[in-house]
Amino acid sequence: MGARTVPIVPAAPHGAKDGAFEYLTTRKDELVGWARKFSLFPYPFVTACCAMEFMAVSASPYDTDRFGAALPRFSPRQADLLMVVGTVTHKQAPVLLKVYEQMCEPKWVMAFGVCASSGGFYQNYAALPGIDRIIPVDVYIPGCPPRPEMVIDGIMQLQDKIARAQHPILTRTF
């Protein structure tokens, strides 16, 4: 009894072309960037009224699933996009910093709405005047709250940024 039941296909003669998709050439950063920009796993750090807009833009009429940014992960260890949705207070800032530090590289941060971007109309003892005071931000979405089109535009700009970026996967340079 032969143990092997898989048919053995003879290798194609060198140089033969049968129309199959045998190999392609690309730049490593373009390939990895292409993969990463369509597989964003957002962590929604949702604190305030922008949450309603976040739900609206996530739901079917606007549907961020089309951009691969659909499945919210509620553990920062599984997420690569930190969406800060709403006002962050000074009291809450250590929590935001800890969530950011718990995320694995590569990671990106989106400031969703004017409060997360700059503090908005809050200029007082309580509100953090923009999350970029404590963590780096990749894309800012203004508006109080932003229109869904603005959020989608923000996601697309972030995707462009990811596609253009260098993506070291083995060493610092490769």
Contact positions vs other proteins (CB under 8 A): 90-91, 93-94, 97, 123-126, 128-129, 132-136
Q: Which is nearer to other proteins, 97 or 156 (CB)?
A: 97
Q: Which of 133, 130, 132, 112 is nearest to 121 (CA)?
A: 130
φ/ψ of 95, rounded to 5, equals: -65, -45
**Minimum separation from the CB atom of position 137 to other proteins (A):** 10
**Per-residue tokens: 107:** 């990671």
Q: Is residue 159 helix, strand or coil?
A: helix
Task: Using the minimum distance from each CB to other proteins, give the nearer residue, 45 or 54.
Answer: 45
Is 54 or 140 the residue whose CB approaches other proteins more closely? 140
Give the nearest distance from C-beta 134 to other proteins in angstroms: 5
Residues in contact with 105: Cβ distance below 8 Å, sequence separation at least 6, in sequence order: none
Nearest to 47 by CA among 11, 3, 82: 82
In the complex, minimum distance from the CB of residue 135 to other proteins, in angstroms, rounded to a whole number? 8
C-beta of 42 vs 130, nearer to other proteins: 130
> What's the closest the beta carbon of residue 98 comes to other proteins, in angstroms?
10
Longest dimension (CA), the chain: 82
